Amino acid sequence: MQLWHGGRLCTLAGDSGWGLIDDGALLVDGDTLRWVGPVAELPPEAAAAELIELDGALVTPGLVDCHTHLVYGGSRAHEFEQRLHGASYADIAKAGGGIRSTVAATRAASEPELLAAASKRARALMAEGVTTLEVKSGYGLDAATEARMLRVARQLQGLGLTVRTTYLAAHALPPEFADADDYIAAVCLWLPDLFEQGLVDGVDAFCEHIAFSPAQVARVFDAARRLGLPVKLHAEQLSDQGGAQLAAAHRALSCDHLEYLSPAGVQALAQAGTVAVLLPGAFYALRETQLPPIAALREAGVPIAIATDHNPGSSPTLSPLLMLNMACVLFRLTPEEALRGLTVNGARALGLADRGRLVAGQRADFCVWDGEHPRELAACFGHNPLKERVQQGLRGGA
């Protein structure tokens, strides 16, 4: 056992509040937190544990990035310039850019090439405290490349973090298909084989006027349900398509983006217990002006998560700490809401109840920071105060 001794713990133990323990300790037994509390109340078994002095450092749960597109080929930096000259996300997509551009580059990349690039990105996230990561497919849009992306995502676990894989073949219409309904049929056909290979933890889709209709997404969700797979949804990013209601009807783990979420959509998410995942990086990069309905989500009691949405086009960030700041500045979340969004609620958005808090029985995923109060993680940006990252009780360094 290890005894992490003498730190300021941000446990997030309750439904609200930081859950601060000023002179606290963590007793780690293998990959589990066996005891968490004040140093003055250490249990007898702590005497036999390996002592690790925290020297007053701040400790939080490990960060959970619940929405990324980490595996892909190519670059779309030129689209950044196009947007600066007035082109919209939809304009670029209609002209053959956007997702389709990345699909071509990803199809051309080998598995080792994709793994090398994705590993570099994952290490950047880990260096800012990420211990659990979701990775979506969706830049293959054919059976072989979707499988290759998911295999690469699985291999990222070898870096020392948990990776949840999400099948997002319903991301865009590939060039070889003229009819979206025919493509959705293929998406549903590929899923069982990928599931049997152990490559899929969940299923996602892009419900938008430039992507797929609610009826088409429902077919994908029905295919997921037959396999017992949970679903998530890219919804209400550019317009209100009623995607939130569709996701809620399928008991989705999360609904993501949500700038155009309607009052009916908010209520549907609340009733279903679906997490609202906000993506400030994409909001910023696309220079959006329509804010997600934060006040309505709060009032309805919808859990709010935040994530990097790392992707090559609309959110090419690899800084979860910057997302904490942006969630506060752009979306007016409190620092506590933002940190909960990247820990407790991020884990909930992945269906993981065993992490996100510093309480006995949870996984020993935590971060040691150079700071006095957890609000500093959101208030400051452009630097990295991480001192040490621990995943399943293993010290991974910063």
List C-alpha distances in Å: 376 to 114, 242, 380.
35, 37, 6
Output the CA torsion 252→333→391→70 (10° steps): 60
How many C-beta atoms lie closer than 10 Å to residue 361's C-beta?
11
How many C-beta atoms lie closer than 10 Å to residue 192's C-beta?
13
Annotated ligand binding at 325? The verdict is: no
Annotated ligand binding at 309? The verdict is: yes
* Inter-residue contact 278 to 341 (CB < 8 Å): yes
Question: How does DSSP assign 107-141, residue by residue?
Answer: HHS-HHHHHHHHHHHHHHHHTTTEEEEEEE--S--
* Inter-residue contact 313 to 307 (CB < 8 Å): no
Q: Which amino acid is at 348?
A: R
**Helices then strands, each counted (H, E), the chain:** 15, 16
* Inter-residue contact 79 to 85 (CB < 8 Å): no
Annotated ligand binding at 313? The verdict is: yes
Structure tokens at 280: 């400030």
Annotated ligand binding at 139? The verdict is: yes
Annotated ligand binding at 76? The verdict is: yes
Annotated ligand binding at 345? The verdict is: no
Annotated ligand binding at 2? The verdict is: no
Which residues are documented as binding site for Fe(3+)?
67, 69, 234, 309
Which residues are documented as binding site?
67, 69, 76, 139, 171, 234, 237, 309, 311, 313-314
Which residues are documented as binding site for N-formimidoyl-L-glutamate?
139, 311, 313
Which residues are documented as binding site for Zn(2+)?
67, 69, 234, 309
Which residues are documented as binding site for 4-imidazolone-5-propanoate?
76, 139, 171, 237, 314
